[in-house]
Amino acid sequence: MSVLEQEEIKLEHYGEAIRYMDNAKEYLKNAKKEGNYYQDKKYVKTACGTAYNGLLEGLDGFLKLKDITPKGKERKTIEYYQRNVTKIDKKLLNTLISAYQILHLWGYYDGIKDARVVKLGFDQAYTLINKIKPSNIPLSSRATLSSTLSAHDG
């Protein structure tokens, strides 16, 4: 795979993952945070589910860059992601497991209201997504992604 093809994959998946994360942050605003707790579980669930989908979008790009794709009709379950991330980066596996537990299980399913826990899940998602951050974004694409990319440098 050429460097240009790699950058195109990064640009596509990173941009979409950040779009999910931006949407998730908007949902959290509706959850009305008081102190360290959100007040509306419905919006926390929606936000965490959306952030988790952003994480998966980033992981899909990460695995695609490593030439890993599902075999035949294989579904992309958490086990699929864990199995394949383990082959590449065992430290990243811990981040994935943590983000899965926080965003998908505790956030999406349980609607955890502790804002500190939700923030940790979002931070873990960004850690994974930033693994595919494009190194050089073409000028033609900057207009579309400029606001999201500048907000998430680092």
Residue 103's closest CA among 78, 69, 85?
Answer: 78
Asked if the structure places residue 78 within a domain, the reply is: yes
Asked if the structure places residue 148 within a domain, the reply is: no
CA dist., res. 124 & res. 127, Å (int): 5
Asked if the structure places residue 77 within a domain, the reply is: yes
In tens, the pLDDT along 23-43 reads 999 999 999 999 999 999 999
Q: What count of residues does the chain have?
A: 154
Asked if the structure places residue 103 within a domain, the reply is: yes
| pLDDT at res. 136 | 63
Asked if the structure places residue 151 within a domain, the reply is: no
Asked if the structure places residue 145 within a domain, the reply is: no
User: Rg (Cα) of the chain, in Å, rounded?
Assistant: 16
Stretch 11-21: mean pLDDT, rounded? Answer: 94
Residue numbers of the domain that contains 20: 3-134
In tens, the pLDDT along 99-122 reads 999 999 999 999 999 999 999 999
Give the count of domains, the chain.
1
Asked if the structure places residue 144 within a domain, the reply is: no
What is the DSSP secondary structure assignment for residue 131, as one 8-state letter? Answer: G
* Mean pLDDT of the chain, nearest integer: 87
pTM for the complete prediction?
A: 0.84
> β-pairing, 33-34 with 37-38?
antiparallel
Asked if the structure places residue 51 within a domain, the reply is: yes
> What CATH number does the domain containing 45 carry?
1.20.120.330
